[in-house]
Amino acid sequence: MDAENLHYFEKAPISKAVAHFGIPMMLGMSMSVIYSILNAYFLGTLGNTAMLTALALTLPLFAIIMALGNLIGMGSGTFISRLLGEKKYDDVKHVSSFAFYSSLVIGLIVMAVGLPLIDPIVHGLGATPDSFGFTKDYVTIMLIGSPFVVLCFTLENIVRSEGSAITSMIGMILSVVMNIILDALVIFVFHWDVIGVATATVISNLVASAFYAYHLGYKSQFLTVSLKWFKATKEILSNVFKIGIPVFIMSIFLGAMSLVLNHFLVEYGDQAIAGFGISSRLLQLPECILMGLCEGVVPLIAFSFTANKLRMKHTIGFTIKAIIALAVVFGVIVYLISDHLIGLFTNDPQLIEMGSYILHVTFLSLFITGMTSLFTGIFQATAQGTAAFIMSIIQGVTLIPVLYIANRMNGFHGVVWSLVISDAVAFLVGAIMLYVLRNKMQPDLDALPQ
């Protein structure tokens, strides 16, 4: 952590500090959304539906591998930021070394366990006879490359935790750009289809991991990849996993929620599924921007939690205002041109009407989604493991009964609105827990000069 990063942690105006931490993460996550669209587009040019099916079926596996990286990365990252606020610099080295090597070990375990079970995994993902071979090819490459994928997501988090938000963003963009270039080469030049796409993903994560590792080894003042600093003490394990495990569970729940939602949509036909698919893809960009803002400020909140609680309070207040402003801007755009947005994906008038309706309803919860992301980030930053765990499961636990009841009472409209209702429940639960946390910290805040 250099003097500039320390300045943003401790002394920069709140607006500039939030921008320093939030904007790079917002840009990096936006690039990831663009890549996911281009990835499907490149493979779609081959005209083989089974390949696109394989790409879709393997998303849960990639999500699990990514979640393992975030388990170590988010848990270690928030702990590192708190340690920096306490100026415990040797402990920071121990945690960063632990994060690096434990991520590699977890990735190797995934590979060792997954490869012998490759066929059951492919069947479990729902592969059809036509897509089985393509799905198996993708899964095989992803399992072989899982150590690098887990490591990449871990290192992105801990680099950001020391205040190097721009370095974190560069690594994310480097991975996306490398992936896009390699996708074009393996599909259009080498004709490796699905195997090529999977290989491109692994290589791009390997390149980004090497970039982050170089930063830790040669640029960072406190982070390290040196094995001599490796420790797995009870304190490190406790602080990493009490935040990391809720992050992992949240990722698993989000994947499960998608499967459950699709199950309810099937009875309303292909247009309902297509409408949800299109609106979800359009919602992904503003959601990632808001999530990028909330995840970006987590290191600032964690540092301030141990170093300056009044600054933490002001940071949270400013971030809430930014979420409101962004949600209003995106909401106005959607309500003005929703038909045109859906029309980018289809010329079916009925599908445009249905997709526009879904978009209007789901965008109502954009502000709520942003706020629940911020609540989760605050609990992670302040080491509130129980609250972080509750936030990780509340939406999934709520959605299933709400879906069932709303579907029975109001059919398709009930299914659409169930997402907003479950988001609202998660928001209320998070707001109550944050209020309790604020009251716990109020004596500390009152003792500070205003």
99, pLDDT greater than 70: yes
What is the DSSP secondary structure assignment for residue 116, as one 8-state letter? G
User: How far apart (Å, rounded) are the C-alpha atoms in residues 58 and 190?
Assistant: 22
Q: Helix, strand or coil for residue 106?
A: helix
Q: What is the DSSP string of 248-303?
A: HHHHHHHHHHHHHHHHHHGGG-HHHHHHHHHHHHHHHHHHHHHHHHHHHTHHHHHH
Stretch among 163-172, 192-201, 248-257 having the lowest mean pLDDT? 248-257
**Same domain flag for 130 and 187:** yes
**Same domain flag for 115 and 151:** yes
**Same domain flag for 255 and 228:** no
Q: What pLDDT score was predicted for residue 203? A: 96
Calculate what percentage of the chain has a pLDDT beyond 90.
47
pLDDT tens-digit readout, 257-267 = 766 776 787 67
User: How far apart (Å, rounded) are the C-alpha atoms in residues 91 and 227?
Assistant: 14
**Same domain flag for 276 and 138:** no
User: Residue 312 is part of which domain span?
Assistant: 243-450
Residue 364 belongs to some domain of the structure: yes
Residue 237 belongs to some domain of the structure: no
**Same domain flag for 334 and 190:** no
449, pLDDT greater than 60: no
Q: What pLDDT score was predicted for residue 175? A: 92
Q: What pLDDT score was predicted for residue 28? A: 84
Residue 80 belongs to some domain of the structure: yes
Residue 204 belongs to some domain of the structure: yes
Q: What pLDDT score was predicted for residue 156? A: 93
Domain endpoint, select from 213, 232, 251: 232
**Same domain flag for 127 and 185:** yes
User: Mean pLDDT throughout 312-332?
Assistant: 92
Asked if 346 contacts 352 with a C-beta cutoff of 8 angstroms, the reply is yes
Tell me which amino acid residue 175 is: S
Phi, psi of 48 (to 5 degrees): -115, 105
pLDDT tens-digit readout, 255-309 = 677 667 767 876 777 677 777 777 777 787 888 899 889 989 999 999 999 888 8
59, pLDDT greater than 60: yes
Helix%, strand%, coil% for the chain, nearest 5: 90, 0, 10
Q: What pLDDT score was predicted for residue 446? A: 56
61, pLDDT greater than 60: yes
**Same domain flag for 171 and 70:** yes
Domain endpoint, select from 176, 198, 232: 232
What confidence tier does 249 reach under pLDDT thresholds 50, 70, 90? confident
Q: What pLDDT score was predicted for residue 352? A: 81
Residue 159 belongs to some domain of the structure: yes
Tally of structural domains, the chain: 2
**Same domain flag for 175 and 208:** yes
4, pLDDT greater than 90: no
What confidence tier does 2 reach under pLDDT thresholds 50, 70, 90? low
Residue 238 belongs to some domain of the structure: no
Residue 44 belongs to some domain of the structure: yes
Domain endpoint, select from 232, 254, 281: 232
**Same domain flag for 97 and 172:** yes
User: How far apart (Å, rounded) are the C-alpha atoms in residues 79 and 240?
Assistant: 7
**Same domain flag for 261 and 402:** yes
User: How far apart (Å, rounded) are the C-alpha atoms in residues 104 and 226?
Assistant: 14
Q: What pLDDT score was predicted for residue 448? A: 53
pTM, to two decimals: 0.84
17, pLDDT greater than 80: yes
Q: What pLDDT score was predicted for residue 369? A: 87
Asked if 185 contacts 198 with a C-beta cutoff of 8 angstroms, the reply is no
What confidence tier does 325 reach under pLDDT thresholds 50, 70, 90? very high
What confidence tier does 419 reach under pLDDT thresholds 50, 70, 90? confident
450, pLDDT greater than 60: no
**Same domain flag for 340 and 416:** yes
**Same domain flag for 268 and 183:** no
Q: Regarding predicted confidence, which is higher, 339 or 318? A: 318
